[in-house]
């Protein structure tokens, strides 16, 4: 009996330590082409943690490793909403395809927390309509501070009342309290920057009372910088004037220095900031300024070096490196990663079978909106022109092998190349190794005859850089496209959750209020 009791205790311990969030639900009136994604709201990389398909009845299920207990973003049909999740939870979500996730019903382990969150959001929406913020921002400092104290007190009163009613977790309640502080801090920053020009008093400087109030709100820096992206924006706005002076003094004659390089150098002079704050701020700026699809190849190695040397937090470092791979691709010259792939007949396939001849990897899925009329005709032209000198491997990342067979037979019929499938689709090893996400489909990677990465990830077959690489590897010379002509394929549509909402320090914008 003791043996069984011990096994039971071990099982309970393992379950309690699980990082996975188990998801299931139903979206009525949904489209099979739409996907549900979950993104960590407080992360720096903002890459989807999971991409879930729905069946014909709108049912879905899945699980993902939650980096932390905290706020997450649900993406669906170009709409977003917040949800608070904790590691090890079982969550059931339902909604209507016309309004989800702006509106959703949640049951299971996450119900209490998200009932509290929804109620607090509803209060803020109503409260904001009653506060004459314009009058406060345009008034004298004493009246503004009095108004801000009242706003803070009113919101906190509501938070306390909702906490008594819904009994949220300590983590969510602490986050909400800090969220209120950050909201007020951003309003203070807006006032301090804009009051002089708005009042006709360019010499205006905030009083001691103003600064003391600001300091009282800004007492939990590390917790806020870890969990609230808007606080990172607040800090960036506050340090913008000082950073601009630093950049002007230290950037003379340096025409090729990136924003990230200059900001990393600047942070080394900031003795009042913790390493945690520096890591999050630098990552925030890098994601906004220098990690994007148009990053010049010469800057990619610079960015990686900054990540390696200046970012100390292992999780932030890992997230940024994943983001860089997802946005710009694997490093040119390194060996192309192998991963399990299977053909329609069930036989396994290795990318190394192409060694001795360059080849193109084409990642696609049936649910991607840019597949079909927008992509396949151009792909056929490319294949037909280069097929004598290179191979083509079409990698499907649909949810099931059956869907892969249907999609490849219908879309790629008659196109010369090898059709293969990555087991588990978007969760497959091949997708993870090549940084393939829903916002990046379809995408193309060129591998040289030695099995090494020869290009960044492309999302548009009409890009001139891609044609130049293909010509170089094959010795052929493709007809050049008129640069003034309409592009043959839509540009990649970056998922809003994959974009950072931070002002670039070199070109500050006023802090955004909630």
Tokens encoding 282: 């630098």
- Give one word for 108, left, alpha or beta, with left for phi > 0 and alpha for psi -120 to 50: left
- Shared domain check, 251 and 193: no
- Shared domain check, 246 and 119: no
Residue 433 lies in a domain: yes
Q: Are 296 and 303 in contact (CB under 8 A)?
A: no
Q: Which residues pair with 364 in a beta bridge?
A: 396
List helix spans (H) across 343-422.
376-386, 401-411
- Shared domain check, 487 and 346: yes
Q: Which residues pair with 61 in a beta bridge?
A: 24
- Shared domain check, 66 and 115: no
Closest to 295 measured CA to CA, from 333, 259, 341: 259
Q: Are 77 and 97 in contact (CB under 8 A)?
A: yes
Residue 412 lies in a domain: yes
User: Structurally, how many domains does the chain consist of?
Assistant: 4
Helix (H, G, I), strand (E, B), or coil: what is residue 64?
A: strand
Residue 367 lies in a domain: yes
Tokens encoding 356: 């001795």
Distance CA 71, CA 227 (A): 8
Please state the φ and ψ torsions of residue 187, each to the nearest 5 degrees: -65, -40
Distance CA 313, CA 222 (A): 13
The whole-number pLDDT of residue 292 equals 81
- Shared domain check, 193 and 66: no
- Shared domain check, 284 and 260: yes
Please state the φ and ψ torsions of residue 200, each to the nearest 5 degrees: 75, 20
- Shared domain check, 173 and 85: no
- Shared domain check, 434 and 378: yes
Residue 479 lies in a domain: yes
Residue 509 lies in a domain: no
Q: Which residues pair with 75 in a beta bridge?
A: 37, 80
Residue pLDDT, tens place only, 128-147: 999 998 888 888 999 999 99
Handedness of CA 415, 420, 424, 427 (dihedral sign): negative
Residue 512 lies in a domain: no
The full 3-state SS of 86-124, as one line of letters, equals CCCCEEEEEEECCCCCCCCEEEECCHHHHHHHHHHHHHH
Asked which of 109, 131, 151 is the last residue of a domain, the reply is: 109
The whole-chain average pLDDT of the chain stands at 88
Distance of alpha carbon 187 from the chain centroid: 26
The whole-number pLDDT of residue 40 equals 95
Residue pLDDT, tens place only, 370-381: 887 778 999 999
Residue numbers of the chain with a pLDDT score lower than 70: 1-18, 480-514
The whole-number pLDDT of residue 334 equals 95
- Shared domain check, 48 and 116: no
- Give the contacts of 237 (CB within 8 A, at least 6 positions apart): 186, 189, 193, 503, 508, 509, 510, 511
The whole-number pLDDT of residue 201 equals 85
- Shared domain check, 353 and 310: no
Distance CA 123, CA 141 (A): 27
Q: Residues, the chain, total?
A: 514
- Shared domain check, 473 and 350: yes
Residue 357 lies in a domain: yes
The whole-number pLDDT of residue 198 equals 81
Closest to 439 measured CA to CA, from 459, 424, 412: 459
Strands of 359-364's sheet in order across: 348-349, 341-343, 418-421, 391-396, 359-364, 443-447
- 462: preceding bond cis by omega (within 30 degrees): no
The whole-number pLDDT of residue 509 equals 34
CATH number of 394's domain: 3.40.30.10
Distance CA 349, CA 340 (A): 7
Closest to 68 measured CA to CA, from 46, 42, 93, 90: 42
Residue 225 lies in a domain: no
- Shared domain check, 134 and 105: no
CATH number of 67's domain: 2.60.40.1120
- How far CA 451 is from CA of 115, 354, 387, in Å, comes to 52, 8, 17
Asked which of 73, 91, 109 is the last residue of a domain, the reply is: 109
Asked which of 219, 248, 270 is the last residue of a domain, the reply is: 219
Q: Are 497 and 37 in contact (CB under 8 A)?
A: yes
DSSP 31-61: -TT--EEEEETT-SS---SEEE---TTSEEE
Closest to 424 measured CA to CA, from 167, 115, 50: 50
- The boundaries of the domain holding residue 258 are 230-328
Helix (H, G, I), strand (E, B), or coil: what is residue 360?
A: strand
């Amino acid at each position: 009996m003791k043996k069984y009791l011990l096994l039971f205790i071990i099982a309970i311990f393992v379950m309690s330590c699980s990082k996975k969030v188990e998801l299931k639900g139903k979206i009525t009136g949904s489209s099979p082409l739409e996907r549900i994604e979950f993104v960590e709201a407080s992360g720096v990389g903002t890459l989807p943690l999971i991409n879930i398909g729905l069946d014909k009845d709108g049912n879905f299920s899945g699980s993902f490793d939650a980096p932390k207990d905290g706020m997450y973003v649900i993406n669906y049909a170009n709409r977003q909403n917040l949800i608070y999740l904790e590691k090890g939870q079982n969550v059931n979500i339902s909604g209507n395809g016309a309004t989800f996730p702006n509106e959703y019903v949640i049951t299971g382990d996450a119900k209490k927390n998200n009932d509290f969150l929804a109620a607090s959001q509803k209060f803020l929406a109503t409260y904001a309509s009653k506060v004459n913020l314009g009058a406060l921002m345009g008034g004298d400092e004493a009246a503004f501070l009095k108004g801000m104290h009242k706003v803070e007190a009113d919101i906190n009163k509501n938070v306390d009342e909702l906490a008594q009613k819904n009994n949220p977790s300590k983590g969510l309640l602490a986050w909400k309290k800090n969220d209120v502080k950050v909201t007020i801090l951003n309003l203070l920053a807006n006032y301090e920057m804009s009051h002089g020009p708005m009042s006709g008093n360019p010499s205006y400087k905030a009083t001691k009372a103003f600064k003391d109030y600001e300091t009282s709100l800004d007492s939990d820096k590390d917790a806020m910088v870890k969990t609230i992206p808007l606080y990172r924006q607040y800090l960036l706005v506050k340090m913008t004037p000082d950073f601009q002076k630093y950049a002007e003094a230290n950037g003379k004659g340096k025409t090729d220095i990136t924003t990230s390089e200059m900001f990393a150098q600047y942070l080394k002079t900031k003795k009042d900031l913790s390493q945690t704050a520096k890591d999050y701020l630098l990552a925030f700026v890098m994601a906004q300024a220098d990690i994007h699809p148009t990053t010049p190849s010469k800057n990619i190695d610079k960015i990686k070096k900054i990540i390696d040397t200046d970012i100390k937090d292992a999780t932030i470092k890992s997230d940024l490196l994943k983001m860089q791979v997802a946005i710009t691709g694997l490093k040119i010259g390194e060996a192309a990663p192998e991963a399990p792939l299977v053909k329609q007949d069930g036989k396994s396939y290795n990318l190394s079978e192409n060694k001795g001849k360059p080849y193109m990897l084409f990642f696609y899925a049936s649910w991607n909106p840019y597949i079909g009329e927008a992509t396949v005709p151009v792909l056929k032209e490319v294949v037909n022109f280069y097929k004598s000198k290179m191979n083509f491997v079409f990698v499907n990342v649909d949810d099931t092998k059956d869907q892969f067979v249907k999609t490849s037979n219908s879309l790629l019929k008659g196109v010369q190349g090898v059709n293969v499938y990555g087991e588990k689709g978007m969760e497959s090893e091949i997708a993870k190794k090549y940084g393939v996400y829903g916002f990046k489909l379809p995408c193309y990677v060129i591998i040289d005859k030695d099995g090494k990465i020869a290009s960044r990830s492309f999302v548009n077959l009409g890009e001139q850089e891609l044609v130049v690489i293909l010509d170089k590897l094959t010795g052929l010379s493709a007809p050049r496209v008129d640069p003034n002509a309409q592009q043959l394929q839509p540009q990649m549509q970056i998922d809003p959750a994959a974009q950072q909402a931070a002002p670039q320090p070199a070109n500050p914008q006023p802090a955004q209020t909630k």
